Amino acid sequence: MTGVALVTGGAGSIGRAIGRRLAAQGLHVLLADVVPPAEMPEGCAPEPLDVRDAGAIAALLDRATQAGPLAALVLAHGILRETPPLVLAEAPMREVLDINLEGVARVLALAAPRMADGGAIVTLSSVTAAMGRTQAAVAYQASKAGVESLTRSYAVALAPRGVRVNCVAPGYLSVPMAGDGAMLRARQGGNAALTAFTPFGRLVTPEEVAAVAAFLCAPGSSGVSGVVLPVDGAQRAW
């Protein structure tokens, strides 16, 4: 593969792992985030980005397309804040929806016209988007359900140009999310409690999620678009 790949949320464990995979496929990878990655995978370069700022998104896309055709876009950014059901937590709800859902919508709207024909877009959802039992993250779950809907809409809209748009839905990962992730996981009993929901008997890793995202960006998945693909150790099937 040739061209540029842009990964939002590039400082996170999944974003870095995806960047590493895409660079190994021959793409020039830009890892975009509000903070630089703690480690920079070979073949990747950092870019500052706040997905709440449409002007910053447009400027980054200008820089990306000057480096080459935008062949792949992976939207791996997201935050987790405590928002339990039956409680009106407006500030954290607005923050989660602004970044996780509206941030994806902003990037998609601005990046779609700049994607190279035949390119690939991958969004990141969560298996919790289809669950009701998660106790303290209703805004996060709602945002990810919205991301899945955006994925289907853009898959249809960009199909005439051969641009494929798919979604990866990780299960509970071996690494908690940044923000409130570690606190909420500890409150639920830690990794051991979550493993009980996983037929694999272990939690999936960021590298396993990255492998699937990279596949969906590669020519081998040329017939796949509009899908939500769980990477969850069979959690959704259980």
Active-site positions? 140
Find the distance separating the first CA and the last CA of the chain, reported in whole Å. Answer: 37
> Distance between CA 86 and CA 55 in Å, rounded?
36
* CA angle at 43 for the pair 37 and 49, rounded to the nearest 5°: 40
Question: What is the CB neighbour count within 10 angstroms for residue 191?
Answer: 17
Residue 153: both structure tokens together: 């809409």
